[in-house]
Amino acid sequence: MAQVVLTPAAGKRLIAKAIATHPDVQSTLNSGIVVIVAGTTNGYVAEEILALIGQSNGFNRKCFYRGIVLPPAQLMSETGRRPDESGFPGDVVIAQGKWLKGKTIYDVIDDLKHGDVILKGANALDVLGKRAAVLIGHPEGGTVITALKAVVGKRVRLIIPVGLEKRIFGNLDEIVTRMNASESSGPRILPIPGEVFTEIDAISLLSEVKCDLVASGGVGGAEGAIWLNISGDVEKMDQIMDIINSIINEPPFEL
């Protein structure tokens, strides 16, 4: 048994390493289309998957987002979107093993079919219910509405990499109703149907050990950190601890 503390950045890196080994991602990379929708967690995911297929040159995680949450004094706009998206590099679209640079989910949504995979991050996580939701600032619903056309219409697989720092409490549907009410202001929110994938899921996939969230928080760079208790047989524990030790000092995300 071991206890580990993961900062949000380390958690993102751990999730990304596990997503790159996910059976659905692995089976689709060379035979179908994998769309990694821009976002901070998915920036790490894109790094790991592009490195896996030997095509990481030219990818910059720092610019890989449309909307972002910053401290109030630094917030870019009411919706958290970049004021100028002319330099946005696009989502990461991998078709039959090739990264189609500059393409976005909007460019390939009509080409997606059953068996393809969309990776889309989230802003709210119901840990017990294994549900996630996305904040929406775009008046037409943004990338999540586009993604759902393929997920619901064509049974495209949706995987939601999301850190435990984004956990919420209470009834998610009631929260959504209040935030989307006509008298409310600020971003809207939409629950999304898909496979929620957290640090706990990452550890389980990478080593098949048992993992529990037991505490959280910190200061001096550990704000938003999570404390995990991990248990399993010696061989599997050694395996996952080697992975955790390799990412434990992941530097904070920088704009």
3-state secondary structure 121-140: CCCEEECCCCEEEEEECCCC
pLDDT in tens, 13-71: 999 999 999 999 999 999 999 999 999 999 999 999 999 999 999 999 988 988 777 77
Q: How far apart are CA 65 and CA 20, in angstroms?
A: 19
Using 50, 70 and 90 to split pLDDT, how confident is the model at 142? Answer: confident
Unique residue bearing structure tokens 């008298």: 183
Question: Is the domain covering 9-205 a CATH 3.40.50 domain?
Answer: yes
For range 184-203, the mean pLDDT: 94
Q: How far apart are CA 131 and CA 103, in angstroms?
A: 28
Determine what percent of the chain is predicted with pLDDT higher than 70: 94
Helices of type H across 127-225: 142-154, 172-179, 199-207
> Which residues pair with residue 66 across a beta bridge?
none
For range 146-161, the mean pLDDT: 96
In the chain, where the domains are located: 9-205
pTM value is: 0.92
